[in-house]
Amino acid sequence: MRRVLPILVLSLLAGALALAATALAAAALTGSAHAAQVAYIDGGQVWVSTLDGAQKRSLSGPAPAPKQWTEVAQADGGAVLGVQREPGKMGNLNATTLWSPDGSVAGNGTLSAPSGWTSYAYPVTLDLTPDGSIVVYGYSNWRGFGLETEYAFGTYAEGSTNWYLPPFDIEDLKQGTLVGSRLVGHSEDNIFVQRATGQPPYSYDFDFWFSVPGVDRVDVSATGTIAAVEFDDQVAMIPFAGLGGALPKDGADCMLPTVGAAGRVSISQDGTSMAWEDDRGVVVAGTPVWFPSMAVSTCNLSRPPVVISASGEMPSIGASSAATPPVPAGTKKKGGKGPHLVSPPKSLKAAALRKGVVLKVKVAGRGKVTATGKVGKKLVAKGSVSAKRASTVQLRLKATKAYRGKLASLVGKRLKIKVVAGGQATTLVRKLG
């Protein structure tokens, strides 16, 4: 790894960091008071879900074609960064959006790279500092042809929004992830931890931690006490006394019970929950209760696995509250929990509103459940059903009489669906195809 950074760049970084910290403090990006939620990519959109999968929300909506939302990361404090680009195109052709823990947009930017490469492949990994102000991302670039081809692998670091300097380049540190502001990554089979001195992640100072043959990626809890080590499409979970500590002498590690190829592990800030992707999709579970003997190699999990999305990928856990937005001001509360949509539709065709789109709604008690669909201020669809008890009910959101004959005019527009039950409401926005 390189160890020398030009004094001029260090000076610029120090000033930029101070400005970024001030701006992000004003934006109130931290959300440590919230319970953990998981962000992930599904259907080309950025989603956030509660850990039981009961409440979900698309932060991004669809990207303008032919682009898609392709990667996502969540800070321990709950800020979420999504990367938007055209699949199959080079990584430098991207745009990013940063959302605050409550789901509001905090800023926009671009993941950049130093010039001079023939091909840019990034982000290979993606992570945020706890306050969401700095993004780190792994890269795999090359230039030249034939025997003269030069390959480069490493990790970049830069501000997460409105950045104006080239990224900080840590060569040879592959698949970099963060523990607080300190990077953890590997060079070949050796895993390294960034020192706490200086201005991590803007630092070339690393210490060797441990080795795992064939390691692909490592994720560590913010507490530094649990590491998920990915290799050969498997995941080993290892407990530590702290970040950079010695491997456990009693062999108290275990293999995560996954299905098929597994990876992209993300551990919650308090070390109690984790998410990963395998052949089932995005999976959430409690972190391991270490197995009782050397004869047992499979992790005992503190909570059983829950599949959040069968088609989701790249999960990232943090303190976001975006999946459970507060009840709008002025909404009457009659006690109990508000409604939420079960398996909300990922896409909607305007023509489907003629016969009606089936919505499944989980309610906390008996009473009338209503749904409305608006484009701007115009009511274009509605539906209702009566719930006899706390249960999951179905209703049809059908076009109003005024719009049954002109549904084609709604194609390409955004439909805001509002479901009300028990005096509380939940909303969902979808672009009509």
In the chain, % helix, strand, coil (3-state, to 5) comes to: 5, 45, 45
Residue 244 has pLDDT above 80, yes or no: yes
Give the distance, in angstroms, between the CA of residue 184 and the centroid of all CA atoms in the same chain.
19
How far from 204 is each of 16, 130, 245, CA to CA, in Å?
A: 19, 20, 20
Distance, in Å, from the CA atom of 243 to the CA atom of 186, rounded to the nearest integer, reads 15
- Residue 403: which H helix or E strand, with range? none
Residue 389 has pLDDT above 60, yes or no: yes
pLDDT tens column, 317-369: 999 999 987 654 444 444 446 688 877 787 889 999 999 999 998 888 888 89
Distance, in Å, from the CA atom of 146 to the CA atom of 281, rounded to the nearest integer, reads 38
Please tell me the predicted confidence (pLDDT) of residue 65. 84
How many residues can be counted in the chain? Answer: 433
Local confidence band at 295 (pLDDT 50, 70, 90 cut-offs): low
- Residue 18: which H helix or E strand, with range? helix 7-27
How far from 21 is each of 17, 18, 170, CA to CA, in Å?
A: 6, 5, 22
Looking only at Cα atoms, what is the longest distance across the chain? Answer: 73
Written as six digits, the tokens of 377 are 């201020």
pLDDT tens column, 93-137: 899 999 999 999 999 999 999 988 899 999 999 999 999 999 999
- Report the amino acid identity of residue 43: G
Backbone phi, then psi, for 119, in 5-degree steps? Answer: -135, 140
Write out the E strands in 148-225.
150-159, 168-171, 174-179, 182-187, 190-194, 206-211, 215-220
Please tell me the predicted confidence (pLDDT) of residue 366. 83
Residue 385 has pLDDT above 50, yes or no: yes
Local confidence band at 160 (pLDDT 50, 70, 90 cut-offs): very high
How far from 231 is each of 262, 265, 274, 405, CA to CA, in Å?
A: 9, 12, 17, 56
pLDDT tens column, 7-22: 333 333 434 444 444 3
Q: Strand, coil or helix: what is 20?
A: helix
Burial class (CB in 10 A: 0-12, 13-18, 19+), 290: middle
Backbone phi, then psi, for 147, in 5-degree steps? Answer: -70, -15
pLDDT tens column, 141-153: 988 888 788 999 9
Q: Which residues pair with 136 in a beta bridge?
A: 127, 157
Distance, in Å, from the CA atom of 114 to the CA atom of 423, rounded to the nearest integer, reads 54
The mean per-residue pLDDT over the stretch 172-200 comes to 96
Q: Strand, coil or helix: what is 293?
A: coil
Local confidence band at 428 (pLDDT 50, 70, 90 cut-offs): confident
Written as six digits, the tokens of 340 are 């939420």
Average pLDDT, the chain: 87
- Please give, one letter per residue, the 3-state secondary structure of 39-75: EEEECCEEEEEECCCCCEEECCCCCCCCCEEEEEEEC
Q: Which residue has the tokens 């179905």?
A: 394
Local confidence band at 254 (pLDDT 50, 70, 90 cut-offs): very high
What's the pTM?
0.70
Distance, in Å, from the CA atom of 136 to the CA atom of 146, rounded to the nearest integer, reads 31
Please tell me the predicted confidence (pLDDT) of residue 294. 62
Domains of the chain plus CATH, in order, are 7-318 (2.120.10.30), 340-431 (2.60.40.10)
Compare 196 and 341 and report the one with higher pLDDT: 196
Question: Phi/psi class of residue 385: alpha, beta or left (left: φ > 0; alpha: ψ in -120 to 50)?
Answer: beta
Please tell me the predicted confidence (pLDDT) of residue 341. 82
